[in-house]
Amino acid sequence: MRIGELSRRTGVHERLLRYYEEQHLLSPERRPSGYREYREDDVTTVRRIRSLLAAGLSTATIATILPCLREEEERLVPTCANLLADLLSERKRISQAITDLQTSRSALDDVIAAAPTDVAERADIAATTHATPTTRA
C-alpha cells in the first residue's frame, strides 16, 4: 500500500510516517518510481509506535524496543529478555519527570497563594473576563 493509504488507515499524517521512516521505525520498500510501498503489518507497527509514544517513550527508545514486542489481545508483550530492564528504566525516568512536575506545580501554588488579596482579586476578574491585566508604571 502507498503512504496515503497507510495514513488513512492509521490516522497518522503522511509527514509523520516519513519521520518514522527517518527514525528507523518503519522500513517501506521503494518502487522503481521512488514511491514507498508499505506492507499490511505496517498498520500494526504504526499503532504500536503511537501507543509507545503515548506512554512517553522517545522514538529512539521505540526503535530499540519495537522488534522485541508482539501484540496479544490488544496488549504489547515483551519478547526479549533484556527488554524488561529497558522498560523499567524508562518507567523510572517517567516517574522522576512526574515527581519533578509535581514539585514545580507545588512551588507555583505557593507563589500564587502568597499573592496579596487585591492582586488575587484582579487576577480573578481578568480570568473571568479573559482580559489581560494591564501594568501601570
Please, what is the angle between helix 14-22 and helix 3-10, to 10°?
A: 110
Q: What is the pLDDT of residue 131?
A: 47
Q: What is the pLDDT of residue 137?
A: 42
For the chain, give every domain's residue range. Answer: 1-80, 81-137
Q: What is the pLDDT of residue 130?
A: 53
Cell numbers 505496517: residue: 42
Q: Which pTM does this prediction carry? A: 0.68
Q: What is the pLDDT of residue 83?
A: 86
The SS3 of residue 24 is: coil
Radius of gyration of the chain (CA): 23
Q: What is the pLDDT of residue 128?
A: 63
Q: What is the pLDDT of residue 101?
A: 96
Q: Does domain 1-80 have CATH number 2.60.40.1730?
A: no
Rounded to 5°, the CA angle 59-60-65 comes to: 90
Instruction: Give CA–CA dist 86/89, Å, rounded.
Output: 5
Cell numbers 509523520: residue: 16
DSSP letter at 71 equals E
Q: What is the pLDDT of residue 62?
A: 92
Q: What is the pLDDT of residue 43?
A: 95
Instruction: Give CA–CA dist 67/91, Å, rounded.
Output: 19
Per-10-residue mean pLDDT of the chain, 137 residues long, equals: 96 96 94 92 94 90 89 85 86 94 95 87 69 46
